[in-house]
């Protein structure tokens, strides 16, 4: 898991110890909801405000994924599709929303890599788009 840019030993160990068994999640996207990184919505009458994240899951994993995403966007020099998408979102919506979006993508990517038993390779990411 440490082959992903921005993910270090603490982030990978925290993710692995919290998920424990990757087969208990059918899809990789449900891991994001388990950690509370999905958007919370406020709807009342005429108002429809997609607010902040729900924060229902494990706080430590959410903070670790956020730190890994921030490191990917701010400190990593290597380019990737995840970083370019986050930088594009940072210009339009702001840094915090971009980091949360990249944290969501990292959680999906880490779970998918763990299920497949593969390593992160940059050429695979370029072909997925």
Closest CA to 100 of 78, 85, 115, 120: 85
Structure-model confidence comparison of residues 48 and 71, the more confident one:
71
Structure-model confidence comparison of residues 33 and 122, the more confident one:
33
Q: Is 108 exposed, middle or buried (0-12, 13-18, 19+ CB in 10 A)?
A: middle
What's the token pair of residue 66?
């956020």
Collapsing DSSP to helix, strand or coil, 42 comes out as strand
Lowest mean pLDDT across 43-47, 56-60, 68-72, 90-94: 43-47
Using a cut of 0.85, tell me whether the model's pTM lies above it: no
Sequence ranges of the domains in the chain: 9-119
Q: Is residue 126 predicted with pLDDT exceeding 70?
A: no
Mean pLDDT, to the nearest integer, of 78-85? 84
E-assigned strands of 16-129?
Answer: 39-44, 47-53
What's the token pair of residue 53?
């994240």
């Amino acid at each position: 898991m440490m082959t992903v840019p921005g993910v270090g030993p603490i982030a990978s160990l925290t993710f692995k110890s919290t998920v424990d068994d990757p087969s208990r999640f059918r899809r990789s996207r449900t891991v994001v909801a388990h950690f509370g990184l999905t958007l919370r919505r406020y709807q009342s009458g005429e108002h429809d405000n997609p607010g902040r994240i729900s924060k229902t899951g494990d706080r430590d994993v959410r903070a670790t994924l956020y730190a890994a995403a921030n490191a990917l966007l701010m400190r990593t020099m290597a380019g990737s599709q995840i970083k370019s998408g986050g930088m594009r979102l940072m210009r339009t919506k702001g840094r915090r929303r971009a980091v949360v979006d990249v944290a969501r993508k990292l959680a999906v990517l880490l779970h998918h890599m763990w299920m497949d038993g593969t390593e992160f390779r940059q050429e695979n990411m370029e072909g997925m788009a």
